[in-house]
Structure 1
Amino acid sequence: MRLKRFFLIGCCLVMSTVTACGTPPANNAKNGGTAVTQNAATGNKELDTLIELAKKEGEVTIVGQAQTNREEMVKEFEKTYGIKVKYTGMRPSEATPKILAEQQQGKYLTDIMMEATQQLALQLYPNGASEDIRNYILPSTDITKDDTWYNGYETGYQMAENTGQYVYGVMDYPRVYVNNDVIEPGALKQPQDMLDPKWKGKIIIHNFARHAQGNTAMTALYLSEGQEFIEKLMKQEPMIVDDARQMVEWFAMGKFPIGVGVDTTTLNTFVKQGVIQKVGKLQPKISTVLHPLAIGVLKNPPHPNAAKLFVNWFLSKEGQTAFVQITTQYQSRRKDVEESPDPTIRRWATIDYKKSLQSKEADEVMKWVTELGKKAFTTPKK
């Protein structure tokens, strides 16, 4: 159903007269009538000039999350402009030292980094390894208009602590997963319910002694529920596991039916395989803590015009629609983009942004959580 739905959306986008970023209409019958006329003017002189320059470069190189749906998403840019995207799927924590090492050797091989907000902020930007994305956003498009975005245009920079990148989408936090094959739906309604003595010994947490999904989840719980909540949660004798797959296995099998810091990619695989049928989420009534998703341009991009064009396409209505509809796990900050087709992903009606997991406050909380994790994590019981 999701693919069918996206196909219909894609057809509508291609048939539109002019995109939010100025993409020309499709008007030839090749490839089933979905090809875009690459030489048609958009009506935006600044964008038209950029398109011609980008085509001369012919490609753009991007590093981002390893999920295959990211590769599916960037193909929409290829279809629109006929410019090749070389996408490398890699965890940001692995890509960052690689990029820094290359740049130290005078090698600038990558144009854009996506969904690496923390790495860009704490590693790349301070070391001068990334550019200021403001220089890559065309002022002649609707991207810079306040009413285009939830919480306004400038908030996209502020959510990343003004570290040269732009936050285009969000993942709501905190989210705790519940195995509803084992626990009846509605038995837990909000995070505070985890503190009920009957759930003692039934909670599993990904190792939060290091920067990974467990650390992020515990930091978000602290920001949302407070330090006292975290301290009481630890008295529930949770199982703390370093192996993300092992954690999901135990959660899916019902050994520990409440999971904090669950790897969603692995969990979705288990759901598709039928290992677990019903998965619920334990969240506050209103999510005030958000995990920001950002895009950044690396230092001395090898294809500066193609990189600039990609940034403007990606932040347009068309680019954000492709991102949300294909990845499904996030919400775009653009108001004119349809919300995620996944009904379990929070709507903007239940999001009231107050705190970012990229903020200085979150950084301090994360340090506290990490130290607690080092004390709490021991060799797991078999």
Structure 2
Amino acid sequence: MNWANRLSAAIVAIAIGTSASAQAADWNEVVKAAKAEGKVTLYSGHVGVPYHPEVAKMFEAKYGIPVEILDLRASDLAERVRTEKATGRVSADVILNGAGALWLLKNQEALAPYGELPALGKLRGDLELDGTRLPIYIQGYGIAVNTKLVPEKDRPKSWKDLLDPKWQGKILSDDMRALGGGSTMFATTYAKFGREFHEKLAAQKPQFSRSVRENARRVARGEFPIYIPFSLPDQLLNKGLPIVGITPIEGDVYAQFDLALTNNAPHPNAARLLMDFFLSDEAQLVYVRSARVPTVKGLDDKIPADVKDIVKAKLLGTSNPATINADLKLATEIYK
């Protein structure tokens, strides 16, 4: 960014005060200031998927602003953001992570309000907004099985089928003791089925792994017949492999993924512009085509037939952000 552009961006920030979000009152000024900032950095806790880079390329094509993306597991991402805040060396502009993980960062004053965005009016009315976390998509989790190792008649149809003694020592699981899909599954099923369910599941001796992308491949290779919780949209990434995702009769556990603006973001206007772009129809349809539930209105008739069953699946519930730390402690007590 040259001296004149830096001055222009600074003027926008000064005109609206010295808040961390540096929000320009007029959206055209936000766009102008965003281009002057020259880039935006996105930290993503949803690792290994191609959809965020696809949206980033669309954003860059529209505005000419490069997007740098860093993928980290939810717990590692949160620790990095806390470290950046503590040292005063903030690199992240926007964070994409589960709603609960961002709730924790909000309470640790690592996030800033995103202010008015032109696309806010497109959001579905059933979503809760707090001015800091911006809902982007919803993802369902079920059970994955190896189709060669588990005949259809023997496949789990319920979350409680995982307690069958025949699965002892044969379940691969995302780690329920760390932020991520595993902790979301733990909190949801603990709330719905109680502690006894998890004590019995712990007796099945599930093997924990934090290698989210590799876990499904391990099941496909036959290392384990079952993996929980399986991101059901990931069936699209595993076509041709002997693995299938199952929605239990009680419904899918789900996670809501949000965006947030970091406190003292180095490129605050570009950050807000990117957040607004994630709510555009073109960006939301990237997630719809990947079998995720959109957070904006008016896209129901654009859901492709091959993903409709996943997008419209029954939902069991999700974790409660206010009890995340307590849930992680419980999981650590039960799964030793």
Fold shared per TM-score above 0.5: yes
Inter-partner Cα distance in structure 2 for 1:225 and 1:251: 26
Residue in 2 that maps onto 1:111: 93
Contact 1:117 1:358 in 2 (8 A): no
String of CA shifts for 1:172-224, please: whole Å, max 9, x gaps.
Answer: 24x12122222222543222233344444543334434445433333333234
One-letter amino acid of the counterpart of residue 312, structure 1: D
For 1:319, the equivalent position in structure 2 comes to 283
Partner of 2:65: 83
More deviation, 74-83/183-192: 183-192
TM-score scaled by structure 2?
0.75
Higher RCO by CA contacts (8 Å cutoff, separation 6 or greater): 2
Which deviations, in whole Å up to 9, do the C-alpha atoms of 1:304-351 show, x marking residues without a partner?
2222211111122232223443xx152212232344776386223x34
Counterpart for residue 298 of structure 1: 262
1:284 to 246, 249, 255: 249
Structure 2 gap segments, 5+ residues each:
1-24
Contact 2:136 2:257 in 1 (8 A): yes
Q: Is 1:144 matched up with 2:121?
A: yes
The answer (yes or no) to whether the contact 1:170–1:291 under 8 Å persists in 2 is: yes
Deviates more, 1:245-254 or 1:66-75: 245-254
Q: 1:63 and 2:43 equivalent?
A: yes
Q: Which of residues 195, 214, 220 is equivalent to 1:252?
A: 220
Could you tell me how far 1:295 is from its partner in structure 2? 0.2
Are 1:179 and 2:159 matched, yes or no? no
Task: Flag the 1:212–1:96 CA change in 2: closer, same or farther, 3 A.
Answer: closer
Shift of 1:297: 0.1
Compared CA separation, residues 144 and 365, structure 1 to 2 (3 A): same
Tell me: CA distance 1:234–1:308, structure 2 relative to 1, closer, same or farther (3 Å). Answer: closer
- Taking the aligned partners of 1:282 and 1:335, their CA distance within structure 2 comes to 25
Q: Which runs of 5+ in 1 are unaligned?
A: 1-44, 375-382
User: What letter matches 2:113 in structure 1?
Assistant: D
Per-residue CA deviation, residues 246-267 of structure 1 (Å, 9 max, x unaligned), is 8556533445312224588999
Distance in 2 of aligned mates of 1:197 and 1:277: 23
CA contact (8 A) 2:100 2:324 kept: no
Residue 336 of structure 1, aligned match among 283, 286, 298:
298
Runs of 4+ displaced beyond 6 Å: 263-269
1:371 corresponds, among 330, 333, 336, to 333
Partners of 1:214 and 1:106 lie apart in 2 by 31
**Map 1:198-277 → 2, pairs under 5 A:** 198-235=166-203, 237-242=204-209, 244=211, 248=216, 251-254=219-222, 256-261=224-229, 271=238, 276-277=241-242
Question: In 2, Cα distance between the equivalents of 1:49 and 1:212?
Answer: 37
Query: How many residues matched?
Result: 306
Corresponding residue SS for 1:302:
coil
Alpha-carbon contact 1:171-1:292 (below 8 Å) kept: yes
Q: Match of 2:128?
A: 156
- Distance in 2 of aligned mates of 1:210 and 1:324: 28
2:7 aligns to what? Answer: none
Which shows bigger deviation, 65-74 or 248-257? 248-257
Q: CA deviation at 1:112?
A: 0.7
Aligned-pair identity in percent equals 25
Aligned to 1:309: 273
Question: How far did residue 75 of structure 1 move?
Answer: 0.6
Task: Name the aligned partner's letter for residue 177 of structure 1.
Answer: A
TM superposition score normalised by structure 1: 0.67
Name the SS of the counterpart of 2:150 in structure 1.
Answer: coil
Counterpart of 1:195 in structure 2 is 163
2:17 counterpart residue number: none
- Structure-2 change in CA distance of 1:285 and 1:335 (3 Å): farther
C-alpha displacement of 1:231: 2.8
8 Å CA contact 1:166–1:294 kept in 2: the answer is yes
User: Cα RMSD (Å) of the superposition?
Assistant: 3.4
Matches of 1:170 and 1:233, distance apart in 2: 26
How many angstroms does 1:299 deviate by? Answer: 0.8
SS in 1 for 2:257: strand
SS of the aligned residue for 1:169 comes to: strand
Please tell me the residue identity of whatever aligns with 1:60: V
Contact residue 94 and residue 262 of structure 2 kept, 8 A? yes
Check 1:93–1:233 CA distance in 2 against 1; reply closer, same or farther (3 A cut).
Answer: closer
1:3-40, Cα deviation, whole Å (9 max, x unpaired): xxxxxxxxxxxxxxxxxxxxxxxxxxxxxxxxxxxxxx
In 1: Cα distance, 2:164 partner to 2:78 partner: 41
Q: CA 1:305 to 1:282, structure 2 compared with 1: closer, same or farther past 3 Å?
A: closer
